[in-house]
Structure 1
Amino acid sequence: MIVRPRPNWFRMLFVWRGSVLPVILPQLIGTTAFAILVTVLHGRVFAWKIPLNFVPFSLIGLTLAIFLGFRNSTSYARYWEARTLWGTLLNETRALVRQALTLADAPSDVPTLTARLIAFVHALRHQLRTTDAKADLERLLAPQDCARVQAARYKPAMLLLMAGEWLADRRRAGQVPPALVQAMEVPLGRLTEALGGCERIAGTPIPFTYSVIIHRTIYLYCVLLPFGLVDAIGPMTPVIVAFIAYTFFALEALSAEIEEPFGTEPNDLALDAMSAMIEATLREMMGEAQPQQPSGLPPGGFIQS
C-alpha cells in the first residue's frame, strides 16, 4: 500500500503512483482512439450511419453505475474488514504480553511467548501472500520451535497452539493462577478468530460472474458511446468519451485491486508495515531493541493516506 502524506488538490490531479491509471491506460487510449475515428467518420461504419443517440446510454449508464457501486462497496467492505482484523492482531498481542509481564509470577519466561506471537503475525502475512516464512521464523524462534512450525501446513495456527502451550506450562508450574489463565485465553481466542477471518477473506473471492458482467458491459458501453454522442457534440466526442471511460475503467480496476486486500498492489493493505509495527511495539514492551520502523509509517499507527 502507498504510505505517504496526502498531496494538495493540485498535485492530486497529477498523481501517478498509487492511482489505477497505469493499469487502465491501454484501454483508455484504445477507447479514445476509437472515439476519434468515429468522430472523423461522423458515426459511419463502411458508409452505414449508426443511428444512436444519448437516451439509451443514459439508461444503461444508470444501471452500470449501480452495478459498479455494488461491486466497489463489496470490495471495500472486504478491505475494511481485513484492516480491522489486523488491528485486532495488534490489540490482542499487546494484551497477552502485558498480562504475561504484569500478572505472571515468572516474567523471565515471557520472551518465549512474545517471540511466538511476533512469529504468528509474520507467518500469517506470509500465508496470506503465499510467500515463504522461513527467514522470519528462523530469526524469531528457537531451533526446535522453528522446526515444528516449518513442518506444519498452517503455520499461524501452529504458533497459536504453541502460545497456548506456553500458558498451559506456566499454569502447571504454578506461575500463572487459574483466574489469569482464563483471562489470557480471551485474547488468544480473539487471535484465532482474526486468523479465521483473514483466511475466509483470502479464500472466498467475490463471485466471478459479477466481474464478467461488469467488465463486458463497460467495454460495450464505451465502444458504442461515441456513436451516440457524435451527432450531438461533434468534435468534443473523444474528450467526453475519454472522461466517462476513465471513470468506469478506474472504478472497475480499483474494485478488483482492493477485492484481495492482502496482495502487494499499491492500494492493498500494508502488511509489511503492519507486521513490523506489531513486532516493534511488542519488543518495546519487553524492553528489547526495536527493528527500524518502515519508512513513511506514521508513529503510533499503521498506515497513512
Structure 2
Amino acid sequence: MIVKHGRGWLAMLFQVQGSSLAQTFPRILVITGFSSIVTTAHIANWVDVYSLTVTPFQLIGVALGIFLGFRNNAAYDRYWEGRKLWGSLVNTTRSFTRQVTTLINSDQTVELRAFQQEVVYKTIGYVHALRHHLRNTDDEADIRAFFTPDDLFRMKGQKNRPLFILRLLGERIRWAWREGWIHDYHMNLLEGSLESLTNIQGACERIKNTPIPFAYTILMHRIVAIYCFALPFGILDSVGALTPVVVLLISHAFFGLDDIGDEIEDPFGTEPQHLPLFTLCRTIEVNLLQYLDETNLPPMIVPVDDILA
C-alpha cells in the first residue's frame, strides 16, 4: 500500500509513483501517436480524413464514465471489504490471545505457560500462513519458527494450511479443556474466537476466488480502446491541431480509471496498491508476543519508498 503523501496539489500533478501512468503510458502513447498522424494528414491535406460529429462521442463518453465508475466502485468495495476483514482478523487474534492468557488456569504453572506460548505462537503462524495463502506464495520461511517439527510434518501436503492450523489450535484447546484447565463457559468463548477466524478466512477466500465477471472487464477494455482510437475523428474539425493534446488527456483519464479497477480488484496481491498484509501480520505478531510478556520483539514495518508491504 502506498502511504499518502503530505504534498501540495502542484507536486501531486507530477507524482508518478502510485499513479496508473506506468501501466497506461504505452497505450496512451499509441493513441496519441495515432491521433497525431490523423491530425497531420488532415491539416496537410495528404488524405481526406472522414470526420464525425462530436455528439456520439459526448453520449458514449458519459455512458462510458458511468460504467467505469460502476466497475471501480465494485472493485473498491472488494478492496475495502478485504481491509475490514483484516481489521477483524487483528481484533479477533488479540481477543483470542487475551482469552488464552487469562481464562485458562492450572496449578501446573510451567506447563500452563508452555501451553499458552504454544497456542499464541500457532496463532501468529496462522496469520502469516493466511497471508501467503491469499497471495499464493510460499509460507515455509515465515511460519517455521512458530510450530513444532511434528506440526510442520503434519502440514506437508495440506492444500489449505491456514485451515489446518485452525484444526491444530482446536485440538490444543480441546486438550486443555479435557485436562480441566478451561471452564465449559470459557470453552465456548474460545471456540467462538476460532469460528470467527474461520469465517474471516472464508470471506477473504471468497474475495480472492470470485473476481469481477471477466466478460464485463473485457467489454470495458474494448470500449475504452475503441472510443479513444475513434475520438480524433470526432473532434478534429472543432479542435484542429490541438486534437492530439485533447486525445492524450481524455485517454489518460479513461485508461487510468480502467487500470485502477484492475489493480484494486484483488486486494490481497503484492503490488504497491494492494493491502499491506505483511505490515498487518507484523502488527499482530508484535501485539501477541507482548501478551506473553516477551521482550525480544521483531521490528515494526516502516514504509520503503513510501510503500508498505
TM-score of the two chains, using structure 1 as the length reference: 0.93
Q: How many Å apart are 1:221 and its aligned residue?
A: 0.4
Stretch of structure 1 that moved more, 68-77 or 9-18: 9-18
Partner Cα separation in structure 2 for residue 164 and residue 46 of structure 1? 78
Higher mean displacement: 248-257 or 99-108? 99-108
- 1:294 Cα shift? 1.0
Shift of 1:278: 1.0
2:15 equivalent to 1:15:
yes
Q: Is 1:262 matched up with 2:289? A: no
Q: 1:81 to 1:45 in 2, by over 3 A?
A: farther
- Return the TM-score normalized by structure 2: 0.92
Structure 1 residues 228 and 75: alpha-carbon distance in aligned structure 2, compared to 1, 3 A threshold: same
Counterpart AA for 1:25:
F
Whether 1:294 and 2:301 are equivalent positions in the alignment is yes
Q: Is the 8 A contact 1:28 1:242 kept in 2?
A: yes
Name whichever of 251-260 and 284-293 sits farther off: 284-293
User: Residues 238 and 87 of structure 1: is their aligned pair in 2 closer, same or farther, counting only changes over 3 Å?
Assistant: same
Matching of residues 202-281 of structure 1 within 5 Å:
202-281=208-287
For 1:166 and 1:275, locate their aligned partners in 2 and report how far apart those are by CA, in whole Å: 22
Structure 1 residue 287 displacement after superposition:
1.3
What is the Cα deviation at residue 46 of structure 1? 7.2
How far apart are the structure 2 equivalents of 1:260 and 1:89? 18
Question: Structure 1 stretches (4+) deviating beyond 4 angstroms?
Answer: 43-46
Superposition deviation, residue 45 in structure 1: 9.7
Give yes or no for the alignment of 1:28 onto 2:34. no
Q: Which moved more, 1:53-62 or 1:104-113?
A: 104-113
Q: Is the 8 A contact 2:99 2:190 kept in 1?
A: yes
CA distance in 2, matches of 1:34, 1:48: 16
Deviation sequence 1:251-284 (CA, Å, 0-9, x none): 1111001111111111011111111111111111
Residues 123 and 155, structure 1, Cα contact 8 Å, conserved in 2: yes
String of CA shifts for 1:183-226, please: whole Å, max 9, x gaps: 11222111100110111111111111011111110011001111
Deviation at 1:128, TM superposition (A): 1.0
Moved more, 67-76 or 37-46: 37-46
Matched, 1:95 2:101: no
Counterpart residue number, 2:205:
199
Counterpart of 2:302, as a letter, is: S
- 1:43 touches 1:49 (CA, 8 Å); kept in 2? no
Unaligned runs of 5+ in 1: 298-302
Aligned with 1:42: secondary structure?
Answer: helix
Equivalent of residue 167 in structure 2, options 138, 154, 161: 161
What value does the CA root-mean-square deviation take over the aligned residues?
A: 1.8
- 1:75 offset after TM fit, Å? 0.6
Residue deviations 1:149-191 (CA, integer Å, cap 9, x gap): 2332210001111111121111101111000001112221111
Identity between Structure 1 and Structure 2 (%)? 40
In structure 2, runs of 5+ residues without a counterpart are: 107-111
With over 3 angstroms needed to count, the CA separation of the structure-2 counterparts of 1:55 and 1:4, relative to structure 1, is: closer
* Aligned residue identity for 1:122: H
Corresponding residue of 1:48: 48
Q: Which moved more, 1:75-84 or 1:141-150?
A: 141-150
Paired residue type of 1:31: I
